[in-house]
Chains A and B, each alone.
Chain A
Amino acid sequence: MASAALNNSLSVNNLGCIRGERVLFKNLSFQLNSGRLLYIQGENGSGKTTLLRTLCGLSLPAIGHLSWNNQDIKSLAEDYYGQVLYIGHLAGIKDDLTAIENIQFSLSLSGYATNRLQILGALETLGVGRCAHLPTRLLSQGQKRRITLAQLWLQDTPEYTPLWILDEPFTALDSNMINILTEHIEKYVNNGGMVVFTSHQLPSFNVSLIEHLQLSDA
């Protein structure tokens, strides 16, 4: 039903990025449509994170164009940012706030107003329901990671958040959690979502959904 209506596209044209003096990659072009999953592979330092940060608008490309539904993302600016959920290396949570407060704030940044029950439900799914009211400085690395990932359960309607950009989403997670996350990402993509992610582990996604992109030294 929903997936038929969604027809978003993210296209990358002749993209090149430079870090310091080094060319990370150049002449990179691809297009991603709704209901597809893009797995970016590459060695350490091949520019995966830079590519993801460029895709979500944090870094500017040295050369090339990025467009969302055939409009340049620079001109869309906030209209584009509002549609993207980016989860990077940094947790983006405040040590002095509780898990719930952190998530409420992140959601309001994405333009959502939510109730506590939904957030509690998401934390429960991720097995950190007990920690909901604790200041996050008391939590372990893996628990903090799960609280960051709770966004994926709260912003999983492709109509509102059509694009997820995930940098190493599987790090610091146990194998059970990896399975839960893999299933959830698949469900989102089947509903018409679009996902770009990097990972060093081989994810066990349904092969028909996935596209590969190999970054190698330019």
Chain B
Amino acid sequence: MNKRPISTLSLMRRIFVRDITVAWRRRSDIMSVFFFFIIAASLFPLGLGADPQLLHMIAPSVLWVCALLSCMLSLPRMFEADYVDGTLEQLIISNQPTLLIALMKILAHWVLSGLPLVLIAPLIGLQFNLTSNELQILAISLLIGTPTLSLIGSIGAALTLGLRGGGVLIALLVLPLYIPALVFGAGAVNAISIGMSANGALSLLGAMLALALIFAPLTASYALKVAVE
């Protein structure tokens, strides 16, 4: 057969498209995480009663914590299936750097589990009596914050590959690392509601994203190599 070499970019696109296709054929997996977020966040208004002031006050942190938890729920899926069926081995000995492969899988994970949260969060925020200005900042903070969650989470997902009880271990590894994102994500919305500017908190979230973008795929790709060895 003739070889018509394909470029790195084209291969990266294929890895991304494949992950999305596989996930789409197992829609229930994505949906369950998505609905977990909606239900968990909706439990608070139901449990705390109709006190608009109180709900308004706790809204940013509740929504952010729910986003953290639902992101974490979907983490084991990032590499697990590929590890079990042998695709991960093939990915690692492909002629492309593992770093780029890990990056594409992280991106696919974010599109499948982070992006839906960004889109639905403003709607959930309405239950908490948030103003339109606050909803806007909430969406922006999640838009910058959730990719950071996927990136940091990839390290945990790669490190716990093939371990028994990996799911609980991921939570122990990753949740502490999520704290800065939570503080500044919820902080951005809180700042707006007390009449301050959210720019500071959002810039810090952006800085975290930049930092995670540099270190997380690198660390995850090393962990993946160790996992298949």
Q: Which single residue of chain B is at the shortest CB-CB distance from A154?
A: B1
Q: Are A112 and B6 in contact (CB under 8 A)?
A: yes
Q: Are A58 and B93 in contact (CB under 8 A)?
A: yes
**Chain A interface residue count, Cβ-Cβ cutoff 8 angstroms:** 40
Q: Are A94 and B1 in contact (CB under 8 A)?
A: no
In the complex, how many angstroms separate the beta carbon of A160 from the nearest chain B beta carbon?
Answer: 4
Per-residue A-contact encoding for B5-38, CB less than 8 Å = 1, 0 else: 1100011001000100110011000000000000
In the complex, how many angstroms separate the beta carbon of B7 from the nearest chain A beta carbon?
Answer: 9
Q: Which single residue of chain B is at the shortest CB-CB distance from A135?
A: B25
Q: Are A109 and B11 in contact (CB under 8 A)?
A: yes
Q: Are B18 and A90 in contact (CB under 8 A)?
A: no
Residues of chain B within 8 A of A86, CB atoms compared? 89-90, 93
- The yes or no answer to B229 lying at the interface (CB within 8 A) is yes
- The yes or no answer to A217 lying at the interface (CB within 8 A) is no
Q: Which single residue of chain A is at the shortest CB-CB distance from B11?
A: A108
Residues of chain B within 8 A of A93, CB atoms compared? 85-87
Q: Are B94 and A109 in contact (CB under 8 A)?
A: yes
Q: Are B18 and A105 in contact (CB under 8 A)?
A: yes
**Chain B interface residue count, Cβ-Cβ cutoff 8 angstroms:** 29
Residues of chain A in range 70-129 having any CB-CB distance to chain B below 8 Å = 78-79, 81-82, 84, 86, 88-97, 101, 105-106, 108-114, 118
Residues of chain A within 8 A of B90, CB atoms compared? 86, 92, 106, 109
- The yes or no answer to B132 lying at the interface (CB within 8 A) is no
Q: Are B6 and A92 in contact (CB under 8 A)?
A: no
A58-B229, A93-B85, A96-B22 known; A112 and B93 CB under 8 Å?
A: no
- The yes or no answer to A155 lying at the interface (CB within 8 A) is yes
Q: Are A92 and B85 in contact (CB under 8 A)?
A: yes
Q: Which of A81, A92, A109, A153: most chain B CB closer than 10 A?
A: A109
Q: Are A101 and B21 in contact (CB under 8 A)?
A: yes
Residues of chain B within 8 A of A79, CB atoms compared? 95
Q: How far is the CA of A57 from the CA of B228 in the complex (A)?
A: 11
Residues of chain B within 8 A of A57, CB atoms compared? 93
A96-B22, A108-B14 known; A157 and B93 CB under 8 Å?
A: no
Q: Are B97 and A60 in contact (CB under 8 A)?
A: no
A58-B229, A92-B85, A97-B18 known; A108 and B6 CB under 8 Å?
A: yes
Q: List residues of chain B with CB under 8 Å of any chain A CB.
A: 1-6, 10-11, 14, 18, 21-22, 25-26, 81, 85-87, 89-97, 228-229
Given A81-B95, A90-B85, A101-B18: 11 more A-B contacts, CB < 8 Å: A53-B229, A81-B93, A86-B89, A97-B21, A97-B25, A106-B90, A109-B95, A110-B94, A111-B5, A113-B6, A113-B10
Could you list 15 A-B pairs, sorted by A, with CB under 8 Å?
Answer: A81-B93, A90-B86, A92-B86, A93-B87, A94-B22, A108-B6, A108-B14, A109-B11, A110-B95, A112-B3, A112-B5, A113-B5, A113-B6, A113-B10, A155-B1
